[in-house]
Amino acid sequence: MLAKTHSLFALTVTAFALETADWKVLAVAAIASQLPDVDTSSSLAGRVLLPLARWLENRFPHRTVTHSVLATGAVALLAWPLRWHSVPVWSALVLGYGCGWFGDVFTKSGVAAFYPLSSARLVIPANPRLRLATGSRAEFVVCGALLLAFFWSLHLNTNGGLLRSFNLWLAQPEGVAALFARESTRHQILAHLEGRLVTSARLVKEDVEVLEVEGERLLVRDARGQRFWAGHTQSCPNCHLDIHRVQARLGAPVVIETRELHWQEEELQTVIGGWWPVDGKDAPPTTDHQPPATVFLSGELTLRDADGLRLPTSWQQFNPVEVVGNPDEWTRVRTLRLRAATPADIAPLHRYFGSGHLVVRIIRGGNP
């Protein structure tokens, strides 16, 4: 098998196995794939390591001692200290070496893979007519196929890997949920969504931000700031948006900070006002020299004298603040449940007294 075929085979396998497009890792695999051929001085590796090649070719037939499972194990052991520097580089070295000789299994002569236990040659397939002859036209076809597979693996790996691309292709909420679970602490999760509003049956086709995930349903926010539960209505009867297709992608990097607020019998404005101006806008930073932040509040509020409180509710979109249970006639206490509510959502509550327990999620970075 030609040196370039060895390299392409090793590059493709390494790129897929390690899910990497790092040129340093891939270069190590490509170089390592040449090493098994050090047993002949006519090879590239043999010319570079001529004394070793001369020593080996005087003692062993081609494709025996260096083309074996044992040799691969020896390389893995000898290169073990590399793991302290970089595990992917070590893995690429071992994979590259293994691929270097395993490719020859598909050639007419095969390799003595189990040397020195057996000198029998491992071949695939058994019929020699179907195996590759070095430099043959069939080998060039294989080279071409490997080149295509390698570029495809690079494309996949630079776009988040095989699973991510598979999810993009499926375009279902489960894929978005998987990406959200993996990346939402580091990146804003954006999605292109196609579906239908459940109440009005209006077709929706737009870019949204994924705020939360619950099972297979997604809490999304569109460009107008409206929030919806989106999912398949068969599994999510309360969803506002029936998803046909949804493809997620990573947005800008974010830093997320979470705090908890507890208070008893205080005016909400006093509690919240210590955090950000109560002008009804999403919160600016509480400390100087920090980028703008988006704030989401979740938790429960118990407000006194709130029998006159009227909150806007909608059947068509997500209600971040909801009244829980019936108001107490005597004390006029109302319990509110907040979920992914913005400071603007609770602006009407600022003058009320009461108790509360809120989890505040402050997201810095991203595009508000």
Greatest CA separation found in the chain?
101
CB atoms within 10 A of CB 364: 15
Minimal distance, residue 90 CB to other proteins, in Å: 21
- Cα–Cα dist 50/45, whole Å: 8
CB atoms within 10 A of CB 188: 21
| 3-state DSSP assignment of residue 183 | helix
Residues 15-44 close enough to bind other proteins by CB under 8 A: 39-42
Residues 307-326 close enough to bind other proteins by CB under 8 A: none
Minimal distance, residue 13 CB to other proteins, in Å: 12
> Phi/psi at 219 (nearest 5 deg)?
-95, 115
Quick one: which of 61, 161, 284, 348 contacts other proteins (CB under 8 A)? 61
Tokens of 270: 């006093």
Beta carbon nearer to other proteins, 136 or 286: 136
- DSSP code for 19: T
Residues 117-156 close enough to bind other proteins by CB under 8 A: 118-131, 133
Minimal distance, residue 1 CB to other proteins, in Å: 13
Burial pattern 144-166, b for ≥16 Cβ within 10 A else e, equals eebeebbeebbebbeebbeebbe
Beta carbon nearer to other proteins, 120 or 203: 120
Size of the site for other proteins (CB under 8 A): 46
Site string for other proteins, 154-173 (x = CB under 8 A): --------xx--xx--x-x-
- Cα–Cα dist 171/190, whole Å: 13
Tokens of 262: 């507890």
Quick one: which of 23, 24, 48, 54 contacts other proteins (CB under 8 A)? 54
Minimal distance, residue 148 CB to other proteins, in Å: 17
User: Which residues form the interface with other proteins (CB under 8 A)?
Assistant: 39-42, 46, 53-54, 56-64, 105, 108-110, 113-114, 118-131, 133, 162-163, 166-167, 170, 172, 174-175, 178
